[in-house]
Amino acid sequence: MVDFNGWDMPVEYPASIGCGIINEHMAVRTGVGIFDVSHMGDIRLAGPQALAAVQHISMNDAAKLAIGQAQYSALLYPQGTFVDDVIVHRLGEDEYLLVINAGTREKDFNWVHDNTRQFDCAVENLSDDFTQIAIQGPKAVNTLQKLTDADLSAVKFYWVTHGTVCGLKDILIARTGYTAEDGFEIYVPADEATSARIWHEILSAGKEVGIVPCGLGSRNTLRLEGKLPLYGHEISDTINVWEAGLDRFCKMEKPGFIGRTVLEKAKNEGLKRTLVGLEMVERGIARDGHKVLDNSGREIGYVTSGSPAPFLKKNIALAYVPPQFAAIGTPIKIEIRGQGVGAQVVPTPFYKRPKKAA
Amino acid sequence: MAYPTDRKYTKEHEWIKVVGLEAVIGITDHAQESLGDIVFVELPKVGADLTAGSTFGTVESVKAVSDLYAPASGTVTETNGDLATAPEKVNKDPHGSWMLKMKLKNPGELADLLSSTAYEQFVAEEGSH
């Protein structure tokens, strides 16, 4: 167990029950795994100008969302750098739910609250009201379907529904996740008795397909293989949208969102650094914070996230380097314990889940 | 867990098995269990001189990097090549998977190390904190 931003969470579950980072990772890639992600935060915006409020603070275009649809986005500072990344869910005509990172719960709520005062919209912090459980993997849908009357086959990826789950009415079920696999996140009442009951019912429902509980370790290796950013690593308050390569979630044609003006200017000035995917070529594992060197040993950047990739069976990393080193195949070195160890730039995402057969 | 009595142990969770001046070194079951799945082992070159208490390499799990500390001083005579391609052997059989062999420089250092019972007790006490 470790302290993760003030939350007591497991890095991995015991080997004695068939877990451990590698087994948990493989279960999610080939079967189903379950995560307690209640540390994440929840902010609800509701009211006649809820959309306008969301549009002002979020870089993606929430006007494109139908009721029941969700999108990945980010809250930006005026400098075009990240307050946090977020999933915006449209739950009703004028109702939006932002799901945010654990470590930025308070910061995000204050930011949203302070920057939407001018809109006729109520901003509520619901973070402590929900236990959030993620059920992830190709067998997630079959597992969760056993426990709900909602027709999950009708819920497309990045859409939500409400239904009865384990006997609880009107539970939010979102087809979202942080694993680069199919899966769902459910939001149930936060009291311990209910939460424990739901957790165990899901474990029972998935038993026949080898469901395992998954901790922070596999959560990180799964999202890394899928090149999903982690706040404080690939995105932060000193990194901008273009550097992080999140252009496609940033709708510059939408006027008036915080950060837009500086981002426009930055786009014209060109990139000084860019996020690339790396794969180790020589023996060694690149880790967070390791320096990236060019082939003459000169420091050119740093690793934002690095780890063995259990499914790909390679050692991978994400790193910031100057644009001239970003071409696929560019050889670079990682400084590991004082030695330059060979790596190369590779395409990302490192892993993409297989498309279902038609 | 009963730790083998044919060797001595360190507080850094290494074991050292000695025959004459030849020592074989590895890590304990407690160490591999704490680390989780081992994915990488970095060992010194044959011929390297090790000093008791200094680091001689690293063992990496998915999540973490741990230093390996020399239980005694000596010169490396052999390293286990299997661990380059199958580091998980250390998890499966920590007391059978040796990491390196060395010629001891100062066998007197062994007297400071823990017996299997003392090590078991040390692990139990560490766990209760």
pLDDT of residue A222: 98
Q: Is the CB of B84 inside 8 Å of chain A's CB atoms? A: yes
Q: What is the pLDDT of residue B2?
A: 79
In percent, the amount of chain A with pLDDT more than 70 equals 99
Place domain A271-346 in its CATH homologous superfamily: Aminomethyltransferase beta-barrel domains (2.40.30.110)
How high is the pLDDT of residue A356? 73
For the stretch B31-63, pLDDT in tens is 999 999 999 999 999 999 999 999 999 999 999
Q: Where are the domains of chain A?
A: 1-268, 271-346
Please give the radius of gyration of chain B, using alpha carbons only, rounded to the nearest integer.
14
Closest by CA position to B39, among listed A18, A47, A306: A306
pLDDT, residue B98, reads: 97
In angstroms, the CA A113 to CA A81 distance is: 19
Question: Strand A212-213 to strand A41-46: parallel, antiparallel, or no bridges (unpaired)?
Answer: unpaired
pLDDT at A39: 96
Q: Is B36 on the interface with A (CB under 8 A)?
A: yes
Give the Cα separation of B8 and B29 in Å (integer). Answer: 14
Res A54: pLDDT: 98
Tell me if chain A has a CB within 8 Å of the CB of B33. yes
In this predicted structure, what is the pLDDT of residue A357? 60
State whether B36 and A217 contact (CB < 8 Å): yes
Q: With an 8 Å Cβ cutoff, are B36 and A308 in contact?
A: no
Single-letter amino acid code for the residue at A227: K
Distance between CA B28 and CA B16 in Å, rounded? 10
Candidates B33, B40, B84; nearest CB to A285: B40
pLDDT tens digits, one per residue of A115-137:
999 999 999 999 999 999 999 99
- Smallest Cβ–Cβ distance between B36 and the set A20, A283, A287 belongs to A20
Compute and round to an integer the Cα radius of gyration of chain A: 21
Residue A120 near residue A42, CB atoms below 8 Å? no
CB A33 within 8 A of CB A199: no
Whether the per-residue pLDDT at B124 is higher than 80: the answer is: yes
Distance CA A317, CA B110 (A): 42
What is the longest distance spanned by two Cα atoms in chain A? 63
pLDDT (mean) for A199-223: 98
Terminal-residue alpha carbon distance, chain A: 42
pLDDT at B126: 87
A216-265 confidence digits (pLDDT tens): 999 999 999 999 999 999 999 999 999 999 999 999 999 999 999 999 99
Name the residue of chain A whose CA is nearest to B92's CA: A15
Judged against a pLDDT cut of 70, whether residue B102 lies above it is answered with yes
Query: Which residues of chain A have a CB within 8 Å of the CB of B39?
Result: 285, 308
Please choose, from the candidates B41, B96, B26, B52, the residue with its C-alpha nearest in 3D space to the C-alpha of residue A284. Answer: B41
Q: B129: pLDDT confidence band, cut at 50, 70 and 90?
A: low
Q: Which are the contacts of A176, defined by CB distance < 8 A and separation ≥ 6?
A: A70, A87, A99, A158, A160, A183, A184, A185
Q: Which pLDDT belongs to residue B20?
A: 92
* B70 touches B57 (CB < 8 A): no
Chain A residues with a Cβ under 8 Å from any Cβ in chain B: 11-12, 15, 20-22, 217, 220-221, 283-285, 287, 307-308, 310, 337
Domain range A1-268, CATH class: alpha beta
Instruction: Grade residue A164 by pLDDT with cuts at 50, 70 and 90.
Output: very high
The dihedral through the CA atoms of A168, A174, A179, A182 has a sign that is: positive
DSSP state letters, A270-309: --S-EEEEEEE-SS----TTPEEE-TTS-EEEEEEEEEEE
In degrees and rounded to multiples of 5, residue A292 shows phi and psi of: -100, 130
* Full-model pTM: 0.95
Alpha carbons within 13 A on the beta-carbon side of A308:
21
* Terminal alpha carbon distance of chain B: 19
The domains found in chain B, sorted by start residue, are 8-111 (2.40.50.100)
Residues 6+ apart with CB under 8 A from A105: A41, A125, A127
Neighbour count for residue B67 (Cβ, 10 Å): 13
Name the residue in chain B with its Cα closest to that of A309: B62
Please report how the helices A216-225 and A21-30 are oriented relative to each other, as an axis angle in degrees rounded to 10. 50
Give the per-residue pLDDT at A342.
98
Q: Band the pLDDT of A17: cuts 50, 70, 90.
A: very high
**% pLDDT > 90, chain A:** 98
Q: What is the mean pLDDT of residues A157-162?
A: 98
Instruction: Look at residues A144, A155, A95 and name the one whose alpha carbon lies nearest to residue A122.
Output: A95
- pLDDT surpasses 90 at A358: no
- Rounded to the nearest angstrom, the minimum Cα separation between B111 and chain A is 32
**Chain A interface mutation, best of B29, B33, B37, B55, highest count of A Cβ atoms under 10 Å:** B37
Those residues with Cβ within 8 angstroms of residue A334's Cβ, 6 or more apart along the chain or in another chain? A278, A280, A284, A286, A290, A291, A292, A293, A303, A306, A317, A340, A341, A343
Size of interface A-B (CB pairs under 8 A): 35
* Identity of the residue in A21, A285, A310 whose CB atom sits nearest the CB atom of B60: A285
